């Protein structure tokens, strides 16, 4: 059959009336709403920087969990998932926090568990995508959409741990750096601190998440907010009465810090950017940029290549299968080798035992022969002794007989002589 | 409480000062009704998502199948109130009926209410027009599968495009001749083969040749025949997502479909209004008048309520079926590959 496509580009044609496909965005959105949304936040920061409190403050609720201790042997990640509902939106929120980050004496490997965790989520998604029978549209997406990096409020500069960790993460996740517990820094110090941090990030080539400015409706606000990074935040779930309203605040002898007062801290900016303006963009960037990069690297690492256009659907699946068969083949070979070794050992042992058995038999035979020889010797001796005894007895009897004969013969002999004389 | 009420609640609770209790400690994994605890703003994701989709625009590919003369092109033009089909785009109106089935795809961009749509109309001239129509659905099935193949090829690339161009057929309107009797063997054969690979929406063409009673009877007979032959047309029963879907779709499946339609691109004055219609000696048939024909139902169904669903069923079900079969058959993968793939521990 012939397939004809008119022209290269698409011409725009006018409509002569209302068609009704302007409801498409609504149709799409309704389907998403029915499906529910996923949002996954990763909080990286030293113990005690207020990660859990900030999450509680952002989402107006107290998520469960006890504060961590400082004596963790290594960095771990703790993940919890919650179902939040607001209006008709159902959000599956997953919050992952580092536990024990920055507590160890040797922090060289501290970033590793974090990178491994992020990669593991990409891997799980890739696995699902590569399956033959897959259910991608019902897949619970665990990939991290936003990483809040908590910077300690020292007021000086970034710690080397911060730089190293952020550098390792910037190609894998959207990083939003924030200055934690920023009520510890004065306003003037804060400005200097922010400038120092930003310049350090730039000079070290750390790519943090930029709020998108391509859509006119949000370009302005996003552009402004980009200049306020890193956000200096304070978290608090305690409410105090200020004026005639209840507000989230922290009370000090010298005054009260209001969390939602933009003059006091950037909490409102963070909430605005993270949730109310860019949540969807964070999800999209994670999928189209970070995940695609991971996927590409992983597949190339495994030896796949985009070769000629004709063999594509095969090359991926085929090579994958080939690798799998190769791996299975190796496994089989190893198994076979082990089995051979086992059989060999058994044979050797069996031979050894047979040898031993043979020796024992021989020994037994020898002893038996020895025993028989001895026995024979003794019997011979006994026989010769018996013979001797018999011979002696015979001689004895013979001698006795002779004696008695001789006596009789002497008598009879005399008689005989006498008889002869008489004659 | 509906979205409006809880929004008002949330807004009100921010303005009116009242001694608030300590936030409730939720037991995971129970859901948290955030509206009770002060406005967070996660419901803004709807607006964020809508903005993004409006920016990227939409693709829609609709195929029309049926014998020539059943008004396919006119109907598509009427549906989209625009000259989008083959007959109107500079093709020779007097051209001959082709000797084999041809596939002709034409794309246009249409815009409404800020929503940009790349619409592709795929015509199939020559279908059912030969003396011997055996296997005339094959070129059509081949074309549909070729689009799945194209998409699959893009999807398995190492370096993938941000947005894979979608040329897959989202909807196939099958035109039934208004004989008033029953479906013809060709109709049954086509729909039997193709309902497994694409969403088929059967329509009764040129319905102005039937009276209301004839229409109702014919529709009933057609529905019965489709059922007896095991033909699942869109919306397929097995893909109803929830009870709400099922109720809505049941009504469409069992009462409205197949839609008996009339198409027209001419306007006439009726009762002081300009309407699309067909003029006959005995009256003007108003295309968008529900008492005259079911065009408006078809339009609302395909465009205003189920367009996104047509695309999703194509992507999540028909395409996945094609892909699974393709990856399974290829490379001599043993049939067990499906199970082992599912149980496969991460070895990558």
ipTM of the complex: 0.79
Instruction: Tell me, yes or no, whether A116 and A155 share the same domain.
Output: yes
A280 has a chain B CB within 8 A of its CB: yes
Would the pLDDT of A10 be above 70?
yes
Looking at the 3D structure of chain A, how many domains does it have? Answer: 2
Rounded to 5°, the CA angle A18-A21-A26 comes to 125
Indicate the pLDDT class of residue B89, thresholds 50, 70 and 90: low
Quote the domain boundaries for residue A357.
Answer: 316-392
Percentage above 90 pLDDT, chain A: 54
Residue A415: per-residue pLDDT: 65
CB contact under 8 A, B37 and A60: yes
| In B156-239, alpha helices (H) | 185-194, 212-228
CATH of the domain at B310: 3.40.50.300
Side-chain half-sphere exposure of A212, counting CA atoms within 13 A: 17
Would the pLDDT of A108 be above 50?
yes
Q: Is residue B148 part of a domain?
A: yes
- Rounded mean pLDDT, A18-34: 91
Q: Which of residues 154-213 of A touch B (CB under 8 A)?
A: none
Instruction: Tell me, yes or no, whether A70 and A175 share the same domain.
Output: yes
Q: Is residue B241 part of a domain?
A: yes
Residue A207: per-residue pLDDT: 93
A66 has a chain B CB within 8 A of its CB: no
Instruction: Tell me, yes or no, whether A239 and A324 share the same domain.
Output: no
User: Of A188-192, A320-324, B67-71, B304-308, which gets the smallest average pLDDT?
Assistant: A320-324
Q: Which residues pair with B31 in a beta bridge?
A: A83
Q: Is residue A37 part of a domain?
A: yes
Size of interface A-B (CB pairs under 8 A): 292
Residue B171: per-residue pLDDT: 95
Indicate the pLDDT class of residue B36, thresholds 50, 70 and 90: low
Q: Is residue B234 part of a domain?
A: yes
Instruction: Tell me, yes or no, whether A155 and A38 share the same domain.
Output: yes
Q: Is residue A306 part of a domain?
A: no
Indicate the pLDDT class of residue A12, thresholds 50, 70 and 90: confident
Q: Is residue B190 part of a domain?
A: yes
3-state secondary structure of B215: helix
3-state secondary structure of A284: helix
Would the pLDDT of A263 be above 60?
yes
Work out the minimum CA distance from A269 to partner chain B, whole angstroms. 13
Q: Is residue A310 part of a domain?
A: no
Give the other-Cβ count within 10 Å of A61's Cβ.
22
Quote the domain boundaries for residue B145.
Answer: 59-262+290-329
- Rounded mean pLDDT, A373-386: 94
Among candidate residues B252, B241, B238, the one with its CA nearest the CA of residue A34: B241
CB contact under 8 A, A132 and B328: yes
- Rounded mean pLDDT, B280-308: 91
Instruction: Tell me, yes or no, whether A65 and A175 share the same domain.
Output: yes
Between A264 and B338, name the one with better pLDDT: A264
Residue B245: per-residue pLDDT: 85
Indicate the pLDDT class of residue B128, thresholds 50, 70 and 90: confident
E strand spans, A228-267: 231-232, 239-242, 245-252, 255-258
Residue B39: per-residue pLDDT: 84
Q: What does the block give as tokens for A270?
A: 């963070």
Between B121 and B91, name the one with better pLDDT: B121
CB contact under 8 A, A132 and B305: no
Work out the minimum CA distance from A22 to partner chain B, whole angstroms. 6
Q: Give the residue from chain B lying closest to A243, CA to CA.
A: B17
CB contact under 8 A, A306 and B158: yes
pLDDT tens sequence across A42-91: 999 998 999 999 999 998 888 877 777 777 778 889 998 988 888 889 99
Q: Per mean pLDDT, which of A168-177, A228-237, B133-142, B258-267 is the most reliable?
A: A168-177
Indicate the pLDDT class of residue B344, thresholds 50, 70 and 90: very low
Q: Is residue B227 part of a domain?
A: yes
CB distance A206 to A166 below 8 Å: yes
pLDDT tens sequence across A268-325: 999 999 999 999 999 999 999 999 999 999 988 877 766 544 445 555 666 666 777 7
Output the average pLDDT for chain A: 87
CB distance A13 to B110 below 8 Å: yes
Tell if the pTM clears 0.80, that is, is over it: no
Residue A3: per-residue pLDDT: 44
Q: Is residue B285 part of a domain?
A: no
Residue B88: per-residue pLDDT: 57
pLDDT tens sequence across B212-258: 899 999 999 999 999 999 999 999 988 888 888 888 899 888 888 89
Q: What does the block give as tokens for B346?
A: 């991460």
Which domain-ending residue is among A270, A300, A330? A300
pLDDT tens sequence across A318-370: 666 677 778 888 899 999 999 999 999 999 999 999 999 999 999 999 999 99
CB contact under 8 A, A133 and B102: no
Using a CB-CB cut-off of 8 Å, the residues of chain A touching B40 are: 58-60, 84, 86, 271, 275
Instruction: Tell me, yes or no, whether A290 and A352 share the same domain.
Output: no
Using a CB-CB cut-off of 8 Å, the residues of chain B touching A281 are: 48, 52
Q: Give the residue from chain B lying closest to A25, CA to CA.
A: B50
Residue A178: per-residue pLDDT: 94
Side-chain half-sphere exposure of B63, counting CA atoms within 13 A: 26
Q: Give the whole-angstrom CA distance, residue A87 versus residue B34.
A: 9
Q: Give the whole-angstrom CA distance, residue B177 versus residue B125.
A: 15
Q: Is residue A87 part of a domain?
A: yes
Residue A285: per-residue pLDDT: 95
User: Of A192-206, A337-351, A353-367, B65-79, which gets the smallest average pLDDT?
Assistant: B65-79
CATH of the domain at A60: 3.40.50.300
Q: Give the whole-angstrom CA distance, residue A166 versus residue A246.
A: 37
Would the pLDDT of B345 be above 90?
no
CB-based contacts of B68, cutoff 8 Å, min separation 6: B97, B125, B126, B129
Residue B269: per-residue pLDDT: 86
Work out the minimum CA distance from B275 to partner chain A, whole angstroms. 10
Instruction: Tell me, yes or no, whether A110 and A252 share the same domain.
Output: yes
Indicate the pLDDT class of residue B1, thresholds 50, 70 and 90: very low
Would the pLDDT of B117 be above 80?
yes
CB-based contacts of A233, cutoff 8 Å, min separation 6: A54, A178, A179, A180, A182, A265, A266, A267, A270
3-class SS letters over B315-339? HHHHHHHHHHHHHHHHHHCCCCHHH
- By the 10 Å C-beta count (0-12 exposed, 13-18 middle, 19+ buried), B314 is classed as buried
Residue B276: per-residue pLDDT: 86
CB distance B300 to A20 below 8 Å: yes
Q: Give the whole-angstrom CA distance, residue B67 versus residue A85.
A: 52
Q: Give the residue from chain B lying closest to A94, CA to CA.
A: B29
Using a CB-CB cut-off of 8 Å, the residues of chain B touching A91 are: 42, 45
Q: Is residue B90 part of a domain?
A: yes
Looking at the 3D structure of chain B, how many domains does it have? Answer: 1
Which domain-ending residue is among A300, A330, A354? A300
Work out the minimum CA distance from B338 to partner chain A, whole angstroms. 6
Indicate the pLDDT class of residue B86, thresholds 50, 70 and 90: low
A127 has a chain B CB within 8 A of its CB: yes
Burial annotation A12-46 (CB, 10 A radius, 16+ → b, else e)? ebeeeeebbbbbbbbbbbbebbeeebbbbbbbbbb
Q: Is residue B334 part of a domain?
A: no
Q: Give the whole-angstrom CA distance, residue B128 versus residue B100.
A: 9
CB distance B84 to B76 below 8 Å: yes
CB-based contacts of A308, cutoff 8 Å, min separation 6: none
Instruction: Tell me, yes or no, whether A108 and A192 share the same domain.
Output: yes
Q: Give the whole-angstrom CA distance, residue B5 versus residue B11.
A: 10
CB contact under 8 A, B46 and A89: yes
A12 has a chain B CB within 8 A of its CB: yes
CB contact under 8 A, B112 and A314: no
- By the 10 Å C-beta count (0-12 exposed, 13-18 middle, 19+ buried), A104 is classed as middle
Interface test with B, best of A133, A281, A300, A322 (most B CBs within 10 A): A133
Instruction: Tell me, yes or no, whether A290 and A365 share the same domain.
Output: no
Q: Is residue A365 part of a domain?
A: yes
Rounded alpha-carbon distances, angstroms, from residue A107 to A151, A161, A204: 16, 7, 19
Q: Give the whole-angstrom CA distance, residue A376 versus residue A143.
A: 95
Q: Is residue A423 part of a domain?
A: no
Residue B18: per-residue pLDDT: 40
Residue A268: per-residue pLDDT: 92
């Amino acid at each position: 059959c012939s397939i004809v496509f008119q022209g290269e580009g698409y011409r725009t044609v006018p409509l002569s009336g209302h068609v009704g496909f302007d409801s498409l965005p609504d149709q799409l959105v309704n389907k998403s709403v029915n499906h529910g949304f996923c949002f996954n936040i990763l909080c990286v920061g030293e113990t005690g920087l207020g990660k859990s409190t900030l999450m509680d403050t952002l989402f107006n609720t107290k998520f469960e969990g006890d504060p961590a201790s400082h004596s963790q042997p290594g960095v771990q990640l703790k993940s919890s998932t919650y179902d939040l509902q607001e209006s008709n939106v159902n959000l599956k929120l997953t919050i992952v926090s580092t536990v024990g980050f920055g507590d160890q004496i040797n922090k060289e490997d501290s970033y590793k568990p974090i990178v491994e965790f992020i990669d593991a989520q990409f891997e799980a998604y890739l696995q699902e995508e590569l399956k033959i029978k897959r259910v991608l549209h019902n897949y619970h997406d665990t990939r991290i959409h936003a990483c809040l990096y908590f910077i300690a409020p020292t007021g000086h500069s970034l710690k080397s741990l911060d730089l190293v960790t952020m550098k390792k993460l910037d190609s894998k996740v959207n990083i939003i750096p924030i200055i934690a517990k920023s009520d510890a820094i004065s306003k003037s110090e804060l400005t200097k601190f922010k400038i120092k941090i930003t310049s350090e990030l730039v000079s070290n080539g750390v790519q943090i998440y930029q709020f998108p400015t391509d859509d006119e409706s949000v370009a302005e606000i996003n552009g402004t907010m980009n200049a306020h990074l890193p956000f200096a935040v304070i978290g608090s779930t305690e409410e105090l009465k200020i004026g005639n309203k209840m507000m989230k605040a922290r009370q000090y002898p010298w005054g009260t810090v209001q969390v939602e007062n933009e003059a006091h801290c950037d909490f409102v900016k963070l909430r605005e950017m993270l949730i109310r303006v860019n949540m969807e963009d964070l999800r999209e960037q994670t999928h189209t940029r970070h995940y695609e990069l991971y996927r590409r690297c992983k597949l190339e690492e495994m030896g796949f290549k985009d070769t000629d256009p004709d063999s594509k659907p095969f090359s991926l699946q085929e090579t994958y299968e080939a690798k799998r068969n190769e791996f299975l083949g190796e496994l089989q070979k190893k198994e076979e080798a082990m089995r051979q070794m086992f059989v060999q050992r058994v044979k050797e042992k069996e031979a050894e035992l047979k040898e031993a058995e043979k020796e024992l038999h021989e020994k037994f035979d020898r002893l038996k022969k020895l025993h028989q020889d001895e026995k024979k010797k003794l019997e011979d001796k006994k026989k010769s002794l018996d013979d001797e005894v018999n011979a002696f007895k015979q001689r004895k009897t013979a001698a006795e007989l002779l004696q008695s004969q001789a006596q009789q013969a002497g008598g009879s002999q005399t008689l005989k002589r006498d008889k002869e004389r008489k004659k | 409480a509906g979205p409006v009420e809880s929004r008002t609640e949330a807004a009100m609770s921010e303005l009116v000062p009242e001694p608030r209790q300590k936030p409730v400690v939720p037991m995971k994994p129970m859901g948290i009704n955030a509206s009770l605890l002060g406005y967070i703003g996660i419901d803004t994701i709807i607006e964020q998502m809508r903005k993004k989709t409006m920016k990227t625009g939409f693709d829609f590919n609709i195929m029309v199948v049926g014998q020539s003369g059943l008004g396919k092109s006119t109907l598509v033009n009427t549906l989209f109130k625009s000259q989008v089909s083959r007959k109107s785009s500079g093709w020779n109106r007097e051209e001959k009926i082709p000797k084999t089935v041809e596939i002709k795809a034409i794309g246009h961009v249409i815009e409404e209410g800020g929503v940009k749509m790349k619409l592709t109309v795929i015509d199939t001239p020559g279908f059912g027009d030969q003396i011997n129509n055996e296997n005339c659905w094959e070129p059509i099935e081949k074309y549909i599968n070729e689009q799945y193949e194209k998409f699959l090829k893009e999807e398995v690339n190492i370096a993938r495009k941000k947005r894979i161009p979608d040329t897959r057929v989202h909807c196939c309107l099958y035109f039934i001749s208004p004989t008033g009797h029953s479906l013809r063997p060709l109709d049954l054969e086509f729909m039997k083969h193709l309902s497994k690979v694409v969403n088929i929406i059967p329509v009764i063409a040129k319905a102005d040749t039937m009276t209301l009673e004839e229409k109702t009877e014919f529709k009933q007979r057609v529905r019965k025949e489709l059922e007896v032959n095991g033909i699942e047309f869109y919306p397929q029963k097995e893909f109803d997502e929830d009870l709400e879907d099922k109720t809505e779709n049941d009504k469409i499946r069992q009462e409205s479909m197949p839609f008996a339609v009339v198409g027209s691109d001419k306007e006439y004055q009726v009762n002081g209004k300009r309407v699309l219609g067909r003029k006959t000696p005995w009256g003007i048939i108003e295309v968008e008048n529900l008492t005259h024909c079911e065009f408006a139902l078809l339009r609302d169904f395909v465009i205003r309520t189920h367009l996104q669903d047509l695309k999703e069923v194509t992507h999540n079900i028909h395409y996945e079926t094609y892909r699974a079969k393709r990856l399974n058959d290829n490379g001599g993968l043993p049939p067990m590959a499906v199970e082992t793939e599912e149980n496969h521990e991460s070895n990558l």
